[in-house]
Amino acid sequence: MSFVQPLPEGRVLLAAARAGRGELNGEVWTRDGDLEHHGHLGDAIEELQATASGKVWAGYFDEGALGGSGPEGHGLARFNQDLTIDWLYPRDAGLPFISDCYTLNLDGATAHFCPYTDFHIQSASGDTVTDWGASPHQSAHSMLVRGADRVLLSGWGSEYDVVTLLRIGREGVRQIGGQCRIVLPDGIETQELRYTCRGGDLHAFNRGRWYRINLHAFSAIAGSTDT
């Protein structure tokens, strides 16, 4: 299994990132160890997160988003707790096409993402998608959220540890302060870290160690750096 997510009433969701057409790659287990639901969550899941109410969001990478015949073909999907489809990112609504759903992050019931290739900062709540505009920094794989602020983390190549603070305003999306880089407490580089983001909190994992930092800390550092 590639993903584990808590669900209401002690249930647990287990999901595999890869699945053949129609193959069941999601399971919901009760706290007593009984299999309650199973379903097809789509192929090529890049990130999977569940809300406190039990809605399950899945973002897909390019092998699924580009031409997939199931929910993965939309790039982003939301499922009910019984793993039936609740909502799919609209394909023909004038929104940026999702070739790879980078930076999926849940803040409450709202999903936030900045997908490849247009790299627009977007959010989805209920059935409504909001496009906040193009990000001035592209290729980030993770994103923190707090109100109008976003922190983009990790990019392509040498930008694997770059941090960029953004703010959404009337003029669109703009960079705040300067960029900085993530290092471990002992000063070692972070190339091998695996990130997951929830709201304004970044969780990073490497070799059995779990690190955590929040958007406030990044804001204090980046805000004191010249642009």
158 and 192 belong to one structural domain:
yes
pLDDT digit string, tens, across residues 110-145: 999 999 999 999 999 999 999 999 999 999 999 999
The verdict on residue 122 lying in a domain is no
The verdict on residue 73 lying in a domain is yes
Q: Is 8 left (phi over 0), alpha (psi -120 to 50) or beta?
A: beta
The verdict on residue 117 lying in a domain is no
The verdict on residue 127 lying in a domain is no
Q: Can you tell me whether residue 190 is helix, strand or coil?
A: coil
16 and 107 belong to one structural domain:
yes
* C-alpha closest to that of 144 among 203, 84, 89, 210: 203
Q: Is the pLDDT of residue 224 over 70?
A: no
- Amino acid symbol at 9: E
148 and 95 belong to one structural domain:
no
Q: Which residue range(s) make up the domain with 36? A: 1-111
Q: Quote the pLDDT of residue 172.
A: 95
21 and 72 belong to one structural domain:
yes
Q: Quote the pLDDT of residue 98.
A: 98
2 and 61 belong to one structural domain:
yes
pLDDT digit string, tens, across residues 195-209: 999 999 999 999 899
98 and 163 belong to one structural domain:
no
96 and 139 belong to one structural domain:
no
Q: Is the pLDDT of residue 4 over 90?
A: yes
8 and 99 belong to one structural domain:
yes
- Overall number of domains in the chain: 2
**Pair 118, 130: CB distance under 8 Å:** no
The verdict on residue 46 lying in a domain is yes
